[in-house]
Amino acid sequence: MERLWAPWRAQYVSSVAQANQEACFFCEALKSERSRDVELLVVARWEHCFAMLNRYPYNSGHVMVAPNRHVGDLAELTEAELCALMLRMREVVDALQRAFAPHGFNIGLNLGRAAGAGVPDHLHLHIVPRWYGDTNFLPVTADLKVISHALEDVYERLRTELQP
């Protein structure tokens, strides 16, 4: 059997195990001082929701938009929160379009652990920019995904676009 050593995965595996035992990282990021936004990858804060980069992105520019309240079900959102979530999603998509000019987007919710939610108790939208040619044989044959932009670069470009 061949082995592919990927020690960088240890950070992710450890963080997933810790995330299941610790407080909600969305709530922790939201409660933090704004001076920590860069460190925590929070790119925008609004009245009813906020946006942050996914630290382990599926693709460059992978953003999550979450309500400010810790709720895990769409039915728990107020009408104002639900509307704000959709409007801010659109704003993030527009900002990503200006900053990176992707050819398309995957946008969705994973509601519940069985649906793939890593944080089932704090719902959040995933916004994943897509480009022609951003998928290839590597994920299938090598279980390897190439992310073409550094998180710091994505953060700066997106934060700039989302500033009023």
Q: What does the alpha-carbon distance between residue 148 and residue 138 come to, in Å, rounded to a whole number?
A: 14
In this model, does residue 163 exceed pLDDT 90? no
Q: Which amino acid belongs to residue 107? A: I
pLDDT grade for 16, boundaries at 50, 70 and 90: low
Instruction: Look at residue 144 in the predicted model and tell me its pLDDT.
Output: 59
149 catalytically annotated? no
In this model, does residue 112 exceed pLDDT 80? yes
Residue (of 74, 61, 68, 79) closest to 117 by Cα position: 74
Looking only at the bridges linking them, the beta strands covering 125-130 and 104-109 are antiparallel
In this model, does residue 17 exceed pLDDT 60? no
Cα three-residue angle 54-57-58, rounded to 5 degrees: 135
In sign, the C-alpha dihedral spanning 77, 80, 86, 92 is: negative
The domain 9-162 having CATH identifier 3.30.428.10: the answer here is yes
In this model, does residue 120 exceed pLDDT 60? yes
Looking only at the bridges linking them, the beta strands covering 104-109 and 63-67 are unpaired
State pLDDT tens for residues 23-55: 899 999 999 999 999 999 999 999 999 999 999
State pLDDT tens for residues 56-108: 888 889 999 999 999 999 999 999 999 999 999 999 999 999 999 999 999 99
- The answer to whether the CB of 109 falls within 8 A of the CB of 126 is yes
In this model, does residue 153 exceed pLDDT 70? yes
In this model, does residue 12 exceed pLDDT 80? no
Active-site option among 62, 70, 103, 124: 124
- Give the residue extent of every domain in the chain: 9-162
State pLDDT tens for residues 139-149: 555 565 667 78
